[in-house]
Structures are given as C-alpha cells and as structure tokens.
Amino acid sequence: MPNPFTGMNPYLESPELWRSIHNRAIVAIADFLTPQLLPKYLVDIEQRIYRISGEDALLVSIPDVAVARSPIQTNSSTSNVAVIAPTVQALRVRVPVPAEFRESYLQVIEQETKKVVTVIEVLSPTNKRPGKGREMYDEKRENIFGSRTHLVEIDLLRSYKSLPVLGSETETSYRILVSRGNQRPLADLYPFNLPDRIPAFPLPLRGEDAEPLVDLQELLNDIYDRAACDFRIDYNAEPAPALAESYAVWVDSLLRERELRG
C-alpha cells in the first residue's frame, strides 16, 4: 500500500520508526544525487559520533522513591540465627550511563579540489531537543554559516523548537532550509505543513554548475514502500508526537476515507 499522505506522514516521526527512516532518507538522497553529479562531484555519507551522559542521554526521570519491599521471612523452627532488618531501605534509582549517538549526514565533495561544497542534514530529535546534542549541532551549524560551504537542512520533525532563522514569523510543522555560502546571510526557507506536499528544492553547487532538483516527496514515498511501513504502522492509533487538534481531525478524516481507520 502506498503512503496514504500527500505530504509528510506523521506516523514516520515515531521513535520506533524515525531512526530507520532517517538512515534510509540519507541513503536515498545520496543514491538520487550521485549519478547526476558525477564526474565533478562525489556524495559521501558521513557519521557524527558523540557521547552524552546524564538525563540528556536517557531522557529518564527519577522514579517514585517509595519502593515496595518484601519483609524478610524466617523459619524459627529450623534456624536460631537472628536476622536484623536494615535500618534504611534502599531506593531504586537510575545512574547516568553514557550513551553513544551516531548521526549520518551527507557531504557533496568536489573531486578535483577534495573540498566539501555542500552539507545535507536530515535533522534528528537529538539535533532539536534542548541539551548537549542540540548544542553540538548548533556549533557545527554556526561553523558552516561562517564558511563558504552550502548547507541544506531538512526538518521533518514536529517535536521540539525549530533551529533559528531570522526574518520569518511563519510557524509551520516542517521546513527545508537551503543556505548558499555565497549568499549569506540570506537563505531560502521552504516551510510546509502536514497537508502540504513536501516541496522540491535545488541542491546548491559551484556557481557555474546547474543545480539538480531534489523531489523529497518522491524519495519519501519510495522509502515508505521499501521499508514496508504499511505493515509497521497502526493507523487506528494516534501518531507520536500528538497532533494539534485541527490536524488530528484532518488526519482522522483522511484515514477513514482511505479505509485505514475503523
């Protein structure tokens, strides 16, 4: 069954699916661009690896301090050994185990100079959630903005606050940012909402080269089929994160119309 949504499918944002969708999107974009950019450019899949500890890593809270404890049982008929109950009961807590995060992104590299011309990022929750992950991504983003490297930043997640841009008061569910190194501080922002088709965007390259158009909607629809998402998603349940009320009504109507929700 094809993707029932004309634009972004909000069920793909769930924690159970997003990591797979993110990785497949990176590969799909690379596979789409490579034959169009050869022989001048190569598209490489790179990984950002970092360790986070504490609440940023696990997103857990301390459980209730009241922990049920079974009383100590003794058998006075078979033992004369006295058992002393502990004066303080132990609390069940969690320790801040470090977690290693691996995030894939794309680099378009000019073969002759071996220079990175364009970076393509598909944002993950770690990039947007307040904490060390976002701080590290913000630092990388600022470094690119201070260089001549182009940046394409694809945000298909409704959760958490969007990465900052100036000059736009429009709040939308999703967006794509195309920032050309030779035009900063100006950039092109493609905002869109749940009912909208994901806009195609041009991939910035060297000034003399034609820019291929990336139809992210077609790529995402293909990913939906290849990942067998129709077998993984329960459309009778609500998507996570939860939708705003107006969009929840729209999604419910669409799914019922397509006989995916009873």
| Average confidence (pLDDT) per 10 residues, the chain, 262 residues | 95 95 98 98 90 53 33 50 75 77 92 97 94 89 97 97 86 95 96 97 95 98 97 96 95 96 90
Strands 188-192, 99-110: pairing kind: unpaired
User: Quick one: fold of 10-54+96-233?
Assistant: tt1808, chain A (3.90.1570)
Residue 182 CA to residue 192 CA, distance in Å, equals: 25
Q: Can you tell me the distance from the alpha carbon of 223 to that of 18, in angstroms, rounded to the nearest whole number?
A: 12
pLDDT reported for residue 180:
97
- Which residues are CB-contacts of 246 (< 8 A; sequence separation ≥ 6)? none
Question: Residue 119: what pLDDT?
Answer: 98
Predicted pLDDT of residue 97:
73
Strands (DSSP E) contained in the chain are 41-52, 99-110, 115-122, 150-155, 174-179, 188-192, 201-202, 213-214
- pLDDT score of 58: 42
Which pLDDT score is estimated for 55?
54
Sequence-distant (≥ 6) Cβ neighbours of residue 33 within 8 angstroms: 43, 106, 108, 203, 212, 214
DSSP for 42-108, please give it. Answer: EEEEEEEEEEE-THHHH---PPPS----PPPP--TTT-----PPPSSPPP-------EEEEEEEEEE
Residue 56's pLDDT is 52
- Compute the distance between CA of residue 142 and CA of residue 134 in angstroms, rounded to an integer: 12
As given in the structure block, the two tokens for residue 21 are: 């969708």
Q: Where are the domains of the chain?
A: 10-54+96-233
**What's the rounded Cα separation, in Å, for the pair 262 and 235?**
9
How is residue 217 written in tokens?
A: 């909607």
